[in-house]
Amino acid sequence: MRRRKFDIYLAIFLLIATIGYFVYSNFAAESNGVEKYSEALEPYKSGDFETAYKIFGKVPYSSSLKQSALFRQARCATNNGDIQTAIKKYKKIVNSSSKSSIVPISHYNMAVLMYEEQDKRAKRHFKKIIKNYPASDYAIASNYYLGLIEATNLPKGKKAQEKAKERALEYFKTYITKAPDGRFAINSVKAIKSLDKTLTNYDNLLIAKAYYANGEYENAKNALKGTTLAESWVDFAKTEYRLNHKAEANKYVEDGLAKQASAISPEDAFEVIDMYIKFAPQRKDGIQKLNSLGLKSTGADYVAYLNCNEVISSDKKEACYRTLYEKYPNGQFSAESLYNIFITKYLQKKYYDAQRIGFLHLKKFPNVKSSPAVTYFMGKIAYKLKHYESANNYYKQVVAEYPDSYYAFRANYNLHKDDGFLPFLELTYKPVIFPYKKSLDNNLVVKLAYLKDYDLVEELCKQDKFIQSWISYEKGDYTVSAVMARNAMEEIKVKPPYDDLRWRLVYPLHYYDSVLKLKGTNNPIIIESIIKEESHFNPYARSSVGAEGLMQLMPSTYAEIVKNNKMPEGMSKINSNIAAGSIYYAGLKKSLVNRDLYAISAYNGGIGSVQGWFTKLIYNDTDEFIEQIPYPETKNYVKKVLRTYWTYGNIY
């Protein structure tokens, strides 16, 4: 009995010891892998590839960084001209059972090196890449290489050669179709021409699109001559605009929309309509000219919508949107048209009519651009009709479903009026760090990020806009970083919680230490928000009208503030712009009954305009004032600044 117990205890001890040894070994290997990989990066970045190759080779096989080390060894070997060693290193990664994001790029790099070495296996590998990673950039580029292989290795016999040329043509066309602005697009065009094949209208159109996407507009125009006007008028118009041939381009747009628009996509129609309006003497002139054409096909609803936006009279505006909605009840602008009818009824105090339209909007158009506004004003209507619980439910819905919207800011105010108009007074600084705590490839990307292997992270995550934004941030390009992150967040329908690290990329606290020192009597978050919306943190920003710096001050305004306030000499351009902008904002606020809402409006629309609106507009509260601001740019600016203020407060 004792012997049996001893055997059991011994077995348990050995099991624990084995597990402990395994855990320790893995921990030691991982720790050693991080140390060696980090050590190897220094000579790699300085161009000492021979030393880097040796140190990368010391990363243990059991380390999660081993594949990255093999990849870096392949790059070192390539840079040293040892192509066969590079292929072997890539092959180890490709033949592994790993699902890591480093496998596709390794497979592609290996295939390219094989192609350059005239290794016949390259063709098989490019086909495998297309099969295994069809949505990747590597699959797209593989089409180009397969085209080259077919075009440069023609078999004997005329029929066999023609078939090979056909295959090559299809590969090149596939590449151009998927990547007209890609690095191989123009080379694909040259290769197509060298095949000496008779090209169809569609082939010529593809070639024209490649030229256009790469800025070769004269070549694009020549290629379009091999197409029919019915299928290519949009491309003719775009190309003529780029060549600054405005009259010719306008003619293509007018005739195309009137006679050929049924053959194009809405996106193409919207693009040429926007270009037409941009090149008009006045925006309104361009819209009215297109509207006078009596369009009935693709793009007609967009022109009608733009025309309604230009109408000033509230009665005429409502009638315009109503006609548009009734004509295109399921069109792309029907939700916005219905919203404009809804808000007009609200401002006319026809609350029951507005409520009926609001119910229809929320049911028919869930989660569209105007949903936060409709939901918020449904709460306002419920409150005015003394349905207080319903009103609060609408406000809570706005905050929950559209947390980073301007209307979430307003809904929060109505739910917690004790907090005042601006509930946040100061922020707690948090740094911008890598936007993910975990990645899908056993956290390889996260580990590489913290090891500062930015180049490899960038290569592995080309499709992730937040990671690309973070890399721009790390390189000091704060403006590109913020804009890229903003656009990426706008694509997410259900927004993440505010502790998600991606929010810091969208709303970083650049120059906030200077803002705190130079804010004067202003709320620093408002000043930070103005900087973000005015310049996206670019201290060298200059607008089309000459406004300069982080806070986009006109030179004359800046000079006057410096002179009148005896600002100290020697201040940096950044600090002097923030100081002058803060003084300017404080002056606007003081002149406008000390309210931030009016000061923000004046910062964009001018103090004279705001003072005029006090007498011209009929309003009972903040919301009615903002919704009736007659300058669309200023109305949107106010909402953007207050939305940014609200989001900063929630993040920090």
Q: Taking CA 340 as the corner, what is the angle to CA 338 and CA 346, rounded to the nearest 5 degrees? A: 105
Phi, psi of 355 (to 5 degrees): -60, -40
Task: Look at the domain 1-119 and name its fold.
Answer: 1.25.40
Cβ-in-10-Å burial (0-12, 13-18, 19+) of 558 comes to buried
Report the alpha-carbon distance of residue 466 to residue 484 in Å, rounded.
7
Model pLDDT for residues 160-180, shown as the tens digit of each residue = 999 999 999 999 999 999 999
Q: Is 638 in contact with 623 (CB distance < 8 Å)?
A: no
Model pLDDT for residues 244-260, shown as the tens digit of each residue = 999 999 999 999 999 88
Position 70 pLDDT exceeds 80: yes
Model pLDDT for residues 552-561, shown as the tens digit of each residue = 999 999 999 9
Model pLDDT for residues 525-541, shown as the tens digit of each residue = 999 999 999 999 999 99
Report the alpha-carbon distance of residue 563 to residue 621 in Å, rounded.
38
Q: Which CATH superfamily is domain 266-403 in?
A: Tetratricopeptide repeat domain (1.25.40.10)
**Domain residue extents for the chain:** 1-119, 266-403, 444-506, 512-651
Report the alpha-carbon distance of residue 111 to residue 105 in Å, rounded.
10
Position 614 pLDDT exceeds 60: yes
Q: How many helices (H) and strands (E) does the chain have?
A: 35, 0
The predicted structure's pLDDT at residue 22: 44
Radius of gyration of the chain (CA): 31
User: 240 is written with which tokens?
Assistant: 């003529």
For 157-190, the DSSP string reads: SHHHHHHHHHHHHHHHHHHHHH-TTSTTHHHHHH
Report the alpha-carbon distance of residue 171 to residue 173 in Å, rounded.
5
The predicted structure's pLDDT at residue 23: 41
The predicted structure's pLDDT at residue 313: 82
Examine domains 1-119 and 512-651 and report if their fold is the same: no
The predicted structure's pLDDT at residue 345: 96
User: 167 is written with which tokens?
Assistant: 């295959």
Residues 456-478 have a mean pLDDT of: 94
The predicted structure's pLDDT at residue 8: 63
Model pLDDT for residues 1-24, shown as the tens digit of each residue = 566 665 565 556 555 555 544 444
| Whole-Å CA distances, 542 to 360, 546, 547, 555, 603 | 44, 6, 5, 11, 16
Cα 406 to the center of its chain, rounded Å:
20
CATH class of 512-651: mainly alpha
Phi, psi of 577 (to 5 degrees): -70, -40
Model pLDDT for residues 337-390, shown as the tens digit of each residue = 999 999 999 999 999 999 999 999 999 999 999 999 999 999 999 999 999 999
User: 92 is written with which tokens?
Assistant: 């180890």
Residues 203-216 have a mean pLDDT of: 97
